[in-house]
Amino acid sequence: MVVRWLVTGAGGLLGWELCARLARLDGAEVTGLPRRELDITQARAVRTAVRAHRPDIVVNCAAWTATDDAETHEDAAARVNGDGPRHLAAACAESGARLLHISTNYVFSGDLEGPRAEDDHPGPRNTYGRTKLAGEQAVLAGLPHTGYVVRTAWLYGAGGPNFVSTMIRLERERDLVQVVDDQRGQPTWTSDLADLLVRLGLGALRGTAPAGVYHGTSRGATTWHGLAQETFRLLGADPGRVVSTTSRALGRPASRPAHGVLSHAAWRAAGIEPIRHWRGALAEAFPDLLAVERQRPPGTVPPAHCRSDRASD
């Protein structure tokens, strides 16, 4: 049986990984559309693409992910994160395709300790989270029986810039790196999430995976500071060169959840094993991340969770 997949946002970190995973899957026909080929904010373009490619499964990896920029560009972020999923849901309702929509742990405020369940009440604390929540609601309302929301967090992988790759680079370029230690979450390898999405999509077609909300993050949890230290350890570098700081000290425009850990109970109902522990995944991913990062030219912009400093400054 041939299963046709359509991946939007195929040029991004997760979209690139998912297309690569599907290309190796027997019986899969994959069409990956980066933003230059499909702008999901355009309803007519979305409808045309879905009609042309006739997918069985659409995976929406397209998103506005610049959290700080969303604070001053809310309309633009809302068009991508809210209107785009609504257009996709309408096109999938018309064609009969299943829709897997990627969302974020930022739909929760992060004020409460402990993992957030799939059916916990959301309460985003920044513009990015509000626009992503709007996208979730559009998918679930438009496709009550064939819409799937997969919340993820702290993604890293070989398909594009990410926190782990930046830490690899900064270890080489800086004596000290300051990283926030007051945000807790689940580092998630795009390869693991791509595999999970494939299994969810096939379960959706078989009717064994109920529609609704799932949490696609690794098991275990750490802080950005802990993740940076583990990256230094894997490099054989001194983790003490990673210095803890606070979110307030960095002064970013958008407030981040302090507690961003998600639970994984919904996977049991679908008969799907959740993603493994983040440490084991990072260790396996590391050789590829290191190889890709060392091919890039020097110089980088630190991510929103760190500040790099030379010891002599």
Cα 107 to Cα 12: distance, rounded to the nearest angstrom: 21
What is the C-alpha separation between 155 and 239, in angstroms, rounded?
21
Q: 128, 148, 156, 214: which is the annotated catalytic residue? A: 128
Cα–Cα–Cα angle for 177, 16, 45, rounded to 5 degrees: 120
Active site residue 128: yes
Distance (Å, whole) CA 135 – CA 102: 9
Residue from 47, 48, 18 nearest 30 by CA: 18
Q: Is 145 exposed, middle or buried (0-12, 13-18, 19+ CB in 10 A)?
A: exposed
Contact 187, 224 (CB under 8 A): no
Q: Which residue has the tokens 């980066």?
A: 34
Which of 89, 108, 106 lies closest to 98 in space, CA to CA?
89
Range list of β-strands (E), 134-278 = 147-152, 155-156, 176-180, 184-185, 188-189, 212-215, 222-223, 242-245
Q: Which residues are identified as catalytic? A: 128
